[in-house]
Structures are given as C-alpha cells and as structure tokens.
C-alpha cells in the first residue's frame, strides 16, 4: 500500500463502523471503528497500512487521528449509551507520549462525548518499547473513564500474562479458530479458563469474527456478552437501527436455549440412571470388598465405563484403579493411596455428595492419561468412601447429547 498516495489524498480516508450486539437486549451496544480508503472507485481496508513496519509512525498517526476525528463527529449523533471501539497498537498509542491522542478525545468531550464510551482495543505483541511506560499510559487514560479491551493474539501465555497485568474491561475472543477442523477440547478449555478469569476480574467477553450460526451459538454458550462479525453485520459507512437484529437474535437464542435444555435434561436423566444402577450394586456388595464391587460394576457398565476407584473424603485413594484397556480390564495398584484433593472441585463435590446423599455427573473434561473427552460419575458409598466411575468417550459419543 502506497503511504504517500494515502497521505496526499486524505479526503478519501474515512471510517467504517462494524456494529457489536449485546446478549441481554439483542441490540447494537457498540461500534468498532475501522479505517477505509477509496482508490479508483474501490474501497479498501487501511489495515495493511497500519500494520506495515516500513511506514513511519508519524504517517500512521496522521491518518489514524483523521479517522478518529471523522468517526467521532458521526458518533456525536448516536445514543449516549453506545460504546465506541478504537484500535490502537502500542507504537501508535505511545506517539507523542500519548498526549496528542488524548487531547483530541478531550476536544470531543467538550462537544458532549463522554469518554466513558471510548474503548481502546490495544495490541502490544510486537512492541519494542518500555512496556511499563505503556501500561502507565493506559492507567492514566483510565482516570478519564476510558476503558481497555485486549484481543487474543495467538500466544496464550502472553495473553494470560497481559490480562493479569492490565485487568482489562473487555476480553475480545477471535472465533476464526473455530473454522479449523483441528480444533478440539483444548480450545474449549482455554475459553472456559478465560470465562472464569473474566468473571474474577469483572471483564466482559466479546466474541468477534462470527461468520456462521454455529459460531454465534458457541459464543452464546461460552459466556459471550457481546457479539461481532459478518454473520451479524459487516462494517459500513453508516450506523444501523439498534434493533436491526432483535427479532432474529431472539429466535436464535430461543433455538440455543432449547438445544441446551435438551442436553441438560439428557445429563440429568443419565445421572439418575447411573444413580439407580450404582446404588443398587453398592447396596448389594457393601460388605463384599472392593474386588467384588468392581466385578459387579463391570458386569453392568462394561460398555459405559473405563476406569473405577474409591477415595476417602480427603481424596486419598483407598482402592487400586480398575482400568479398561485394549486387552480388557486390569488392576493398577500403583494408584493406591494417591491423593486427588488438589483437583479442581474435588472437595466441593465431596461435600455436595455428603449433604445430598446422591451421585454427581461431572462436566466434560479432558482425561490426563488417555487424552479423551470424558465425564466422571461420583457416588457416596458411605460417610467416608466415595466411588468414582470414569465414563468413556465412546459412550458419550453414542449418546451425543452428553457431549
């Protein structure tokens, strides 16, 4: 992209606005400002211009500031609760120590634009400067009410580290990865971790690059409050009616809710089925010892389970593992006396089973030893013995509403 051509033709530089919808009202809650340039009758994205390391920062800043001015002039006519996302990489934000950009925002504040509506979507992945200085600048902006959003950049360790350092107001999740056939449980686990982290720090999850219905469903299921993407609406040079998708999104959410209810009912009914089966077997073999108990369980659950063991209320394993491999069921004595209280939710589930006096079917998770997606059914045998039965992926797959 010819930087000099753009700089000499700034009147053809203009913003586009991509709407962002919220889950609770199914309305437009925000717009992301995107740079565009009209050349020879074609409208092209300015993304390559801003990402080109060969173009001097002062050129980028001049074009960016013009885009911000043109965008915010239009924003003045919007409802006062609509948020505005402005993309800023660290180099651009640090230009002039961040003061020229802030002064421009303050000029618009005088015109009636609350800076609490401004969301800075920041990127610092290739920043070579002082990161502490950059973070101090962001905290300084926050004193004016400006909010911070950070997007997933592919390097999960850096991403989580920056979340911890900045405690952003919004976490932006790119759903482009959902297009890959290679995506599996790990992506879901990362998202689950992000949703827990967002809840801890009081951040909102925004899912972007939603291009298909199943991606919207994925975002909804994984705690997304805000949604953005071509499936919902592409960037445009004008704003849209806030209720443009209200009816369609309500219908979609109804379908998602119905589907999830069916899955939850299936999990509930399966837990009840395991409860009746295991309770009867445990009752019949309560004095027979672990070997007889496991043999009775295998007889009924050979096509369901692949691992069984008993722990006490503190998580110490009182029995060996009974494990089903390629050659059938075997005893793994090495697990005797191991402790599992460090596992997430272990003690919480023990207390719940003790008080409720019934079994529990776990969420889906990835088994450390086999790498497969499984669930575990746990059952209180008595006051100090708790039976754990790992349900195989094959069984879950055959009963797909459990996945």
- The two structure tokens encoding residue 314: 């503190």
The pairing of beta strand 373-380 with beta strand 386-391: antiparallel
Report the distance separating Cα 207 and Cα 175, nearest Å: 7
DSSP states of 353-365: HHHH-S-EEPPPE
| Helical axes 57-75 vs 99-110, angle rounded to 10° | 10
Q: What is the pLDDT of residue 342?
A: 94
In this prediction the pTM is 0.89
Q: What is the pLDDT of residue 352?
A: 95
Report the distance separating Cα 266 and Cα 379, nearest Å: 19
Identify whether the C-beta of residue 125 lies closer than 8 Å to the C-beta of residue 153: yes
Query: Which residue positions in the chain have pLDDT lower than 70?
Result: 1, 125-126, 152-158, 177-186
Q: Enumerate domains of the chain plus CATH numbers.
A: 3-229+244-258 (3.20.20.450), 281-402 (3.30.450.20)
Q: Which residues contact 162 (CB under 8 A, 6 or more apart)?
A: 124, 150
pLDDT tens profile 103-124: 999 999 999 999 999 999 988 7
pLDDT tens profile 162-215: 888 889 999 999 888 666 555 555 677 777 778 888 888 899 999 999 999 999
Report the distance separating Cα 83 and Cα 119, nearest Å: 7
140: left (phi over 0), alpha (psi -120 to 50) or beta: alpha
Report the distance separating Cα 252 and Cα 9, nearest Å: 44
């Amino acid at each position: 992209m010819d930087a000099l051509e753009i700089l000499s033709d700034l009147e053809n530089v203009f913003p586009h606005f991509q709407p962002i919808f919220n889950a609770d009202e199914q309305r437009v809650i925000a717009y992301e400002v995107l740079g565009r340039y009209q050349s020879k009758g074609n409208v092209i994205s300015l993304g390559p211009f801003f990402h080109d390391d060969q173009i001097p920062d002062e050129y980028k800043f001049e074009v960016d500031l013009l885009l911000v001015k043109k965008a915010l002039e239009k924003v003045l006519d919007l409802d006062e609760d609509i948020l505005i996302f402005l993309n800023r990489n660290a180099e651009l934000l640090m230009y002039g120590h961040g003061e020229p950009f802030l002064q421009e925002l303050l000029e618009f504040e005088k015109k009636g634009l609350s800076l609490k509506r401004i969301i800075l979507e920041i990127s610092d992945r290739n920043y070579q400067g002082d990161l502490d200085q950059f973070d101090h600048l962001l905290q300084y902006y926050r004193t004016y009410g400006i909010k911070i959003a950070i997007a997933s950049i592919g390097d999960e360790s850096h991403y989580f580290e920056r979340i911890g350092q900045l405690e952003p107001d919004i976490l932006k999740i790119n759903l482009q990865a959902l297009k890959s056939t290679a995506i599996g449980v790990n992506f879901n686990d990362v998202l689950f971790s992000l949703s827990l982290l967002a809840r801890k720090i009081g951040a909102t999850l925004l899912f972007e690059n939603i291009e298909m219905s199943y991606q919207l469903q994925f975002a909804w299921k994984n705690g997304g409050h805000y949604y953005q993407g071509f499936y919902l609406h592409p960037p445009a040079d004008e704003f849209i009616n806030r209720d443009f998708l209200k009816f369609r999104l309500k219908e979609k959410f109804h379908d998602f809710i119905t589907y999830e209810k069916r899955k939850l009912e299936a999990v509930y009914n399966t837990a009840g089925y395991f409860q009746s089966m295991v309770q009867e077997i445990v009752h019949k073999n309560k004095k027979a010892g672990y070997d007889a108990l496991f043999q009775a369980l295998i007889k009924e659950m050979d096509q369901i389970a692949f691992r069984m063991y008993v722990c006490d209320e503190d998580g110490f394993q009182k029995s060996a593992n009974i494990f089903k491999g390629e050659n059938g069921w075997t005893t793994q004595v090495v697990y005797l006396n191991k402790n599992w209280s460090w596992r997430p939710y272990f003690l919480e589930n023990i207390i719940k089973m003790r008080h409720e006096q019934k079994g529990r079917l776990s969420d889906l998770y990835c088994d450390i030893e086999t790498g497969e997606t499984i669930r575990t059914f746990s059952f209180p045998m008595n006051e100090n013995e708790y039976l754990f039965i790992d349900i195989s992926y094959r069984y879950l797959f055959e009963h797909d509403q459990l996945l």
